[in-house]
Amino acid sequence: MQTVTMEDVAREAGVSRALVSLAYRDAYGVSVETREHILSVGKKLGYRPNRVAAQLAGKEQLTIGVFLQDLHNDLFADIHDGIREVTDAGGKHTVLAVGKIDGSKDVEALETLLENRVDIVIAAGLTLSDRALKKYLSRVKMVSVMRQVSGAISIVSDNYKGATEATEYLISLGHRGIAFMANPPSDGYLDRTAGYLATMETAGLEPLVVAGSYSRQETEVIARALLSDSKRPTAIFAHNDQAALGVLDAAFALGLEPGRDISVVGYDNTSLSKSPSSALTTVDVHAFELGRLAAEEALKQLAETEAELTTVTLEPTLVIRTSTGAPASA
């Protein structure tokens, strides 16, 4: 059964979502007639309001800080959309700070959020070491997205499983020379590499881990060298979609057809991976849902002083498109 949202109530009642939120909070400024109309429509549709969000909506001093690693990567935009769906419905004020893909702005961004006196931080894509991150956990509550962090609520996708399924899929197509374009090594982001390595070992295949980058342009340079080798792999599995798009750029520049001359798999299922020009096989981490769950957990933390520090793990989904196929020699 599909969940009825605040937007559904607003559409049926012929009012704005903001007015629906105010009505369910019994906030000042909503007439008795309008409130009764909205509540009647909500009851008819079977809408169940988020009581935690409604409880917190009137506490203007409670603010949620949001850290995103990089807005050039649609993964973080999708996570942010999920966060906003919950915080907007709850009438919460958010402060946004954006880092940099190399991690050099993590500290600056977190300090900006703390200077704004946020009550909790939702952090997506922090690359700080566990040791450095621990210092911040003593200063502010945190919900970590895409990275499991001790001492914080963690909303993650099962990256080990996702990498395993992607590698197994390439093997099932007949590929034996499969390279993994790895992310720069940092605490908390090693499961995709581990899943690839374990799967290759189980299949009795020689792994090839190539030091990659979070940058599409830098990955293209690395991939050109790899694909120009006479003993190039028949498939490349990249640690995220941005890197996979860099591999595709290199393949096109060298006159190689993805899915025939070289198979390419990404990770995240961002909007660019879905475009007809890339048609990238990838692993969907369900970014919007990760953001939505992170915001809900943040609201619980603000409402309950003794709320449990939990880890929520979503199952990834392999999405098959035309960037992969059987090797030409198969």
Domain boundaries, the chain: 6-49, 60-157+286-315, 159-285
> Does the pLDDT of residue 2 top 70, yes or no?
no
Distance CA 132, CA 190 (A): 18
Averaging pLDDT over each range in 24-38, 120-134, 191-205, 291-305, which range is the top one? 191-205
Q: Would 6-49 and 60-157+286-315 be classified into the same CATH topology?
A: no
* pLDDT at residue number 28: 45
CATH of range 60-157+286-315; options 3.90.1150.10, 3.90.25.10, 1.10.260.40, 3.40.50.2300: 3.40.50.2300
Kindly report the pTM of this predicted structure. 0.79
Fold assignment, 159-285: Rossmann fold (3.40.50)
CA distance from start to end of the chain:
45
Distance CA 227, CA 175 (A): 15
* pLDDT at residue number 59: 47
Distance CA 279, CA 239 (A): 17
Secondary structure of residue 177 in the 3-state scheme: coil
For the beta carbon of residue 67, count every other beta carbon within 10 angstroms.
26
Distance CA 107, CA 172 (A): 43
**Across the chain, what does the average pLDDT equal?**
89
The residue written with tokens 């196929």 in the block is 325
Burial classification of residue 63, based on how many CB atoms lie within 10 Å of its CB (0-12 exposed, 13-18 middle, 19 or more buried): middle
Helix (H) or strand (E) holding 12: helix 6-13
Range of weakest confidence among 1-5, 271-275, 302-306: 1-5
Distance CA 88, CA 231 (A): 53
Q: How confident is the model at residue 56 (pLDDT cuts 50, 70, 90)?
A: very low
Q: Pull the structure tokens for residue 95.
A: 């402060």
Q: What is the CATH number of domain 6-49?
A: 1.10.260.40
